[in-house]
Amino acid sequence: MCTHAPPQQPALRCMSPPYLEAKPVPARGAAPGCFPRGTVLVLDADASPSGWLLLPQAVADARRRFPTAPLVVQVPEVTSATMALAQRAARLRVRAVVGPSERMADALRPVLTHPDDLGDDVVEWMALRGRALSPVVAELVRRIVADAHRHPQLGDLLAPLGESERTARHRFRGKGLPPPSAWHQAARALHAALCIQAQPQARLSQLALDLGYADHSGFSRQLSRAFGVTPAAVRGTLGWEWLLDRWLARRGGGPRAVTVAATPRLCQPCR
CATH architecture of 118-237: Orthogonal Bundle (1.10)
Q: What is the rounded distance in angstroms from the CA atom of residue 265 to the CA atom of residue 111?
A: 7
Write the pLDDT tens digit of every residue in 108-152.
Answer: 999 999 998 999 999 999 999 988 899 999 999 999 999 999 999
Tell me which of 6-10, 15-19, 96-100 is least confident. 6-10
Q: What is the reported pLDDT for 271?
A: 34
What angle in degrees, to the nearest 10, is found between the helix axes of 180-198 and 165-174?
90
pLDDT at 167: 96
Tens-digit pLDDT profile for residues 148-177: 999 999 999 999 999 999 999 999 999 999
Name, in order, each residue with C-beta under 8 angstroms of 55's C-beta and a sequence gap of 6 or more: 10, 43, 45, 73, 85, 88, 89, 92
Residues of the chain with CATH 1.10.10.60: 118-237
Neighbours of 76 (CB within 10 A): 12
Coil vs helix vs strand at 73: strand
- pLDDT, greater one: 167 or 209: 167
Cα–Cα distance for residue pair 128/125, rounded to 1 Å: 5
Quote the mean pLDDT of the chain: 84
**Per-residue pLDDT at 270:** 35
27 residue type, one letter: A
Q: What is the pLDDT of residues 211-254, one digit of tens each?
A: 888 778 888 999 999 999 999 999 999 999 999 999 999 887 55
- How far is residue 23 CA from its own chain's centroid? 20
Task: Quick: pLDDT tens for 24-81.
Answer: 998 766 665 678 999 999 998 876 767 677 888 899 999 999 999 999 988 877 777 6
In this predicted model, what pLDDT tens digit does every residue of 168-208 receive, in sequence order? 999 999 999 999 999 999 999 999 999 999 999 999 888 88
Per-residue pLDDT at 94 exceeds 70: yes
pLDDT at 260 over 50: no
Q: Nearest-CA neighbor of 194 among 108, 133, 93?
A: 108
Q: Residue 257 — very low, low, confident or very high, per pLDDT cuts 50/70/90?
A: very low
For residues 4 and 178, the model is more confident at: 178
| pTM across the whole model | 0.86
pLDDT number for residue 258: 34
pLDDT of residue 216: 82
Q: For strands 12-15 and 96-98, give the pairing.
A: unpaired
